[in-house]
Amino acid sequence: DVLMTQSPLSLPVTLGQPASISCRSSQSLVHSDGNTYLNWFHQRPGQSPRRLIYKVSNRDSGVPDKFSASGSGTDFTLEISRVEADDVGVYYCMQGTHWPYTFGQGTKLEIK
Amino acid sequence: EVQLVESGGGLVQPGRSLRLSCTASGFTFGDHAMSWVRQAPGKGLEWLTFIRSKAYGGTTEYAASVKGRFTISRDDSKSIAYLQMNSLKTEDTAVYYCTRSQHTLSSWGRGTLVTVSS
C-alpha cells in the first residue's frame, strides 16, 4: 500500500500567520491516465471531511484563495496564507492513484 | 446542490450483519462512481471501497480490511449506494461516510455511526 506521511502532525498557528503542511507518498502518484490524484481535505471538529483541493492544486468551488497547494511525484504541500479561527481542525492528504487509496495521518491545526 | 445522506447505522453484535444506504440527490447519480470511507472514534480516515458507474462496468474494489466481508452495490434508478457489511468485528466500529467519485472524493455525507459490540 502507498504510505502517505504528513508533517507536522500538530500545527499551532497564530491568527493571521501562514501555515504549511507537507505530504509525502511512498511512491509516485502519477496515474497511468496522466493525472496525479493527490487531494486535500479539511475536517472541522464534529463535522464530516470537506475536500479543499483535488489533483494536486485545483481549489474546490467556494474554497478561499488563501488555500493553495502544489507538488509533484511524491512531495506535496498545502499552504494557508493567513490562518483564521475557522481553519482549525484536521487536514488530510489522500492519494487516489494506487488502490487501495490511502490517507495521511492528519495534521491538527489549532490557534496558538 | 449535491447531497449524500447515509442511513442504516446502529448497534450490532459481533458476527452479525448490517446494510448501510446512501441516498444521493443534486446530481446525475448514474454518471458517478461512489465510495465508502470510515473513521474509527478519534482516528483518521480509511477508504473502504468504491463502485464505478455502469458506463465503466460498475466494477468494484475493496480494502483488504473488508474484502470478503463487505459488498458495495448501487441502484441507479433510486440514486442509492449500499454497503452490505457481514461478519462484523469490534474493529469495524466507526462513522461510515458515503462519498462521490473514485479518485477524488468530491462530496461527503454526514456519516452514520456503526457500533459493533456485545
Among A48, A51, A56, A108, which would you mutate to test the B interface (most chain B Cβ atoms within 10 Å of its Cβ)?
A48
In chain B, which residue's Cα lies nearest the Cα of A90? B44
Three cell numbers written together for B31:
454518471
CA torsion sign for B39, B40, B46, B47 is negative
**What is the predicted pLDDT for the residue at B66?**
98
Segment A81-100 shows an average pLDDT of 97
Give yes or no for a contact between B92 and B78, defined as CB atoms under 8 angstroms apart.
Answer: no
Asked whether the beta carbons of residue B104 and residue A31 sit closer than 8 angstroms, the reply is no
Q: What is the pLDDT of residue A75?
A: 98
What average pLDDT does this structure show over B52-76? 97
How many helices (H) does chain A have, and how many strands (E)?
A: 0, 11
Rounded to the nearest integer, the mean pLDDT of chain B is 97
**Side-chain half-sphere of B32: how many Cα atoms within 13 Å?**
23
**pLDDT tens digits for range A20-68:** 999 999 999 999 999 999 999 999 999 999 999 999 999 999 999 999 9
